[in-house]
Amino acid sequence: MTIVKSRFFILILLFFSHFELYSNSLEKNIQELEKEIKEYINHHVLDSHDFNLLSYTKEDGTKFYLGIPLPVILWDDGLAIFSSSKFKHGKSVVKSGENFYKLYHGKIYKTDSSGKIYYDNNKNVINTSPIDFSITKGVVSIIFVSIIMFFLFRNLANSYKKNKMMAKGIGRFFEPIVLYIRDEIAIPNIGEKHYKRYMSFLLTLFFFIWICNMVGLTPLGINVTGNIAVTFCLALLTFIITTVSGTKYYWKHIFWMPGMPLPMKIIMAPIELLGVIIKPFTLMIRLYANIMAGHIVMMTLISMIFIFRNWIGSSLSFMLAFFIAIIEILVALLQAYIFTILSALYFGFAVEEEHDH
Amino acid sequence: MEKLITEFSFGLFFWHSLIFIGLIFLLKKFAWKPILDAVEERDNSIKKAISSAENARKEMETLKEDNSRILKEARIERDKLLKDAKKTKDELIDNAKEEAKLEAQKIINQANISIKNEKKLAIKELKNQVSLISMQIAEKVIKKELDNTNKQEEFLNKLIDETNIK
């Protein structure tokens, strides 16, 4: 019952974060509203340079934003650091040193003093962008999740010392999950002999993805694991660890498949080599696409309440959004599990030793 | 695909890699290693406790077996002892009986001998008495012969008949 209640609470909060849409919907026609919603969703699923909680249009037509500005760090033949509030949500040009920068659709471009944006024939921006090392909303969320994880699991580790080998408090909930990853994911896939080396990575990976996914379901509007840069990094780590720990047997299987006739060996080598790259690539795309799609579907269904503006349509949209929210909780865990078990499987291939087939 | 590449934020990738790798090592030192060690230690202690309990059970079983074996042996020993005792007793009684019989026989024999001797002595004395009496009779006869020879003879015969030794 309490779970259902808290879900309701989250959904209600979600509506608040869409307050902007609601206030606008009274004046604008449907086409404009749909366009705005599309932009809003597109904006949400991407990373942003400030941590916005909610925004709405005041009576005099100016927009009000509630949120925290974050530091912008640019590398453009020298370091440029300033607060993201200077962009005024893309309205003003920021001068830093000799250069002028403008925020346009979530991306920083180098412009002239007037802040003009140039387009090519396909409506793509042709202004150059500096290398952006900003502490964005995503980075803040990652730091936030990391701190939560650090204290959560250090607390669990300490509770063993205090309570004579028994976990206490919230650790009681996490201990079986840690053991599940060890006994059901690491040991069966990697093997009794080598699994210990990979435990730290697998555990951190699983809990990081899971907590990020769960945080993404809250009305804070965080989308960490639905960002290609994050999933790329995670998949890259899996790829690097697999490659580094590959035994002679593993590489032999890739380049010179034993037990095959010679022409087959020559055909198999590039296919297997491609597989080495495709494996982490699918990891990256799977996590990204699942979380991204989940966010888009959730937001679309919630927005539909404001588009329908009648009892039947809006309540149906609400029911659907509610239903999808529950499914997303499941997906959050499932995607973390899949990423972890597949990583463990690839490590298992890499450390496999010669035996009779 | 093109959208994916344009969306790719190098800054986020950079920070995420840095933080995530840092997190792995931090958690490894402060969380995963202590947690996994503690869990393993606990598992081992449980395994140890189970195996020691198993050993204790086995020991108990062997002890029980030993006990029953010893009891059985003791019973056999007791039976044997009882049997031996009975045998010894019977033998003792038999021996005693035998001895008693022999003793009795001996006593009887001795009695017989002494009786014979007594008898011999008695006969001897009787003979002496008889001879004495005969002497007296003879004296009387001799005294009487002087009176009547026939009667004397008769009387002598009669006396001899009377004093027939049995």
pLDDT per position as a tens digit, A244-297: 988 888 888 888 877 778 888 888 888 888 989 999 999 999 999 999 999 989
CA distance to partner chain A, nearest, from residue B59 (Å): 29
- Give whole-number Cα distances, A14 to A28, A101, A202, A302, A320, in Å: 21, 33, 32, 8, 14
Helix (H) or strand (E) holding A13: helix A2-17
Question: Hey, which residues does A89 pair with through a beta bridge?
Answer: none
Exposure of A261 in the CB half-sphere (CA atoms within 13 A): 2
| pLDDT score for A16 | 53
Helices (H), chain B: 2-7, 10-27, 33-145, 149-162
CB within 8 Å: A232 and B8: yes
CA-based nearest residue to A343, from A286, A293, A292: A286
Q: How does residue A168 score in pLDDT terms, banded at 50, 70 and 90? A: confident
Q: Which residue has better confidence, A1 or B85?
A: B85
- pLDDT of A132 higher than 80: yes
Spatial separation of the C-alpha atoms in residues A294 and A334, rounded to whole Å:
13
**For residue A46, which residues of chain B lie inside 8 Å, CB to CB?**
7
**For residue B30, which residues of chain A lie inside 8 Å, CB to CB?**
150, 153-154, 157
Structure tokens at A319: 């029911």
Spatial separation of the C-alpha atoms in residues A186 and A24, rounded to whole Å:
52
CB within 8 Å: B12 and A175: no
- pLDDT of A163 higher than 80: no
Asked if A231 has any chain B CB less than 8 Å from its own CB, the reply is: no
- Burial class of B80 by CB neighbour count within 10 A (0 to 12, 13 to 18, 19+): exposed
| pLDDT score for A1 | 43
**Rounded percentage of chain B residues whose pLDDT exceeds 70:** 92
pTM over 0.90: no
Question: Mean pLDDT, to the nearest integer, of A81-101?
Answer: 78
Q: Minimum mean pLDDT among A78-92, A152-166, A177-191: which range? A: A78-92
Out of B8, B15, B31, closest to residue A157 by CB: B31
Residue of A204, A231, A240 best to disrupt the B interface, most CBs of B under 10 A? A204
- pLDDT of A162 higher than 90: no
Question: Mean pLDDT, to the nearest integer, of A54-71?
Answer: 76
| pLDDT score for A37 | 81
**Rounded percentage of chain A residues whose pLDDT exceeds 70:** 90
**Nearest chain B Cα to A157, which residue?**
B35
Q: Based on C-alpha coordinates, what's the Rg of chain B?
A: 64
- pLDDT of A70 higher than 60: yes
Spatial separation of the C-alpha atoms in residues A237 and A246, rounded to whole Å:
14
Q: Establish whether this prediction's ipTM goes over 0.85.
A: no
Domain ranges of chain A: 38-132, 144-356
Q: What is the pLDDT of residues B120-156, one digit of tens each?
A: 998 888 888 888 888 888 778 777 666 666 776 777 7
pLDDT averaged over chain A? 82
Question: Mean pLDDT, to the nearest integer, of B80-91?
Answer: 94
- pLDDT of A19 higher than 80: no
**For residue A136, which residues of chain B lie inside 8 Å, CB to CB?**
9, 11-12
Out of A143, A158, A199, closest to residue B32 by CB: A199
CB within 8 Å: B15 and A142: yes
| pLDDT score for B145 | 63
CB within 8 Å: B4 and A178: no
| pLDDT score for A336 | 95
Q: Which residue has better confidence, A48 or B105?
A: B105
**For residue B19, which residues of chain A lie inside 8 Å, CB to CB?**
139, 142-143, 146
